[in-house]
Amino acid sequence: MPENLIAQNLIRLRAELPDGVSLIAVSKTHTADKIRLAYAAGQRDFAENRLQEALSKQAELADLTDIRWHFIGHLQKNKAKKAIANFDWIHTIDSLALAQKLNHYAENLEKTAKFCLQIKPLPDPQKSGWEIPEFLDQMTQLADCRYLKVQGLMTILPLGLTPPETKQAFLDVKALQQQLNKAGHFPFTLSELSMGMSGDYPLAVKAGSTMIRLGRSIFGARQ
Ligand SMILES: *Cc1c(COP(=O)(O)O)cnc(C)c1O
C-alpha cells in the first residue's frame, strides 16, 4: 500500500469514530517502517499478536517512546513474564491459569500492563477465551487475582455471522460488562470493551465498543 494511503486511512477512520472510542492499529506482519508511517500520521496505539515479532519491532522503534503497545494474540504461560513487562495492554487473558500466572508476576512489578479478559459470546472452537457461563463459574477466582489491573472485556467473533447476529453478540459482551460492574465483582471498574475489527467495527461501535482493533483497513491486506 502506498505510504500516503496509511495516513489517509487513519484520517478517515478517526473522523468516523465517536469520542471515547480508541483506534488501535494492528501492525502484525507489517514492517517497522509501516508503523513509522502511521506514527507520523499521529497514531500511537499499535497491536501485535506474536511476542517475538513484537519485541523485535519494539527494538527497532525504541526511539518512538510514546507508542502504546497492545498484545492481542494467544499468550502462552511461559511467555507471560516477558509480555507483562513489554506491553502497555494485554487484551487476551483467556484462561484462569494464565490470569494467575500474570497476577503472580504483577505482584512484584512496579509498572505492569493493563488487561482485558477474552470472552466468547458464541461458541468458537477456533478461539480461546471463556464462553459466558464458564466465565461466570470462574469469576470469583479471577477477581482474586488482585494485582491484575483488569480494565475490561475483549472479544473476537466467529467468522460468518450475519449483521444482526454480530450486533447481538457484541451486545451480549456489553451486557456481561454491565452485569459485572453492577455486582462489583472486580476490584477495578471494567470500563473498556475491546471489540471490533476491520470487518465488523461499525456494529461494535454501535454496541458500545471503546477500543477497536483495525489491521486491514489501515495497512491494507496482510501478506
Ligand atoms: C488480526 C487481528 C485484528 C485485526 O484484524 P483486521 O481484520 O485486519 O482488522 C484484530 N484483532 C485481533 C485479535 C487480531 O488477531
Q: What is the CATH number of domain 3-219?
A: 3.20.20.10
Instruction: Calculate how far, in angstroms, residue 173's C-alpha sits from the geometric centre of ligand 1.
Output: 18
User: How many CB atoms within 10 Å of residue 168?
Assistant: 15
User: 3-state secondary structure string, the chain?
Assistant: CCHHHHHHHHHHHHHHCCCCCEEEEECCCCCHHHHHHHHHCCCCEEEECCHHHHHHHHHHCCCCCCCEEEECCCCCHHHHHHHHHHCCEEEEECCHHHHHHHHHHHHCCCCCCEEEEEEECCCCCCCCCEEHHHHHHHHHHHHCCCCCEEEEEECCCCCCCCHHHHHHHHHHHHHHHHHHHHHCCCCCCCCEEECCCCCCHHHHHHCCCCEEEECHHHHCCCC
What pLDDT is recorded for position 187? Answer: 86
Q: Report the pocket of ligand 1 as residue ranges, CB < 6 Å.
A: 26, 28, 49, 72, 156, 197-199, 213-217
Mean pLDDT computed over every residue of the chain = 96
Question: In the predicted model, is pLDDT for residue 3 greater than 90?
Answer: no
pLDDT tens, position by position, 43-96: 999 999 999 999 999 999 999 999 999 999 999 999 999 999 999 999 999 999
d(CA 94, CA 116): 9
Choosing from 126, 197, 203, 218 the residue with most ligand 1 atoms within 8 A of its CB, the one to mutate for a pocket test is: 197
Domain limits, the chain: 3-219
* 184 alpha carbon – ligand 1 mean position (Å): 31
State the pLDDT confidence band at 110, using cuts at 50, 70 and 90: confident
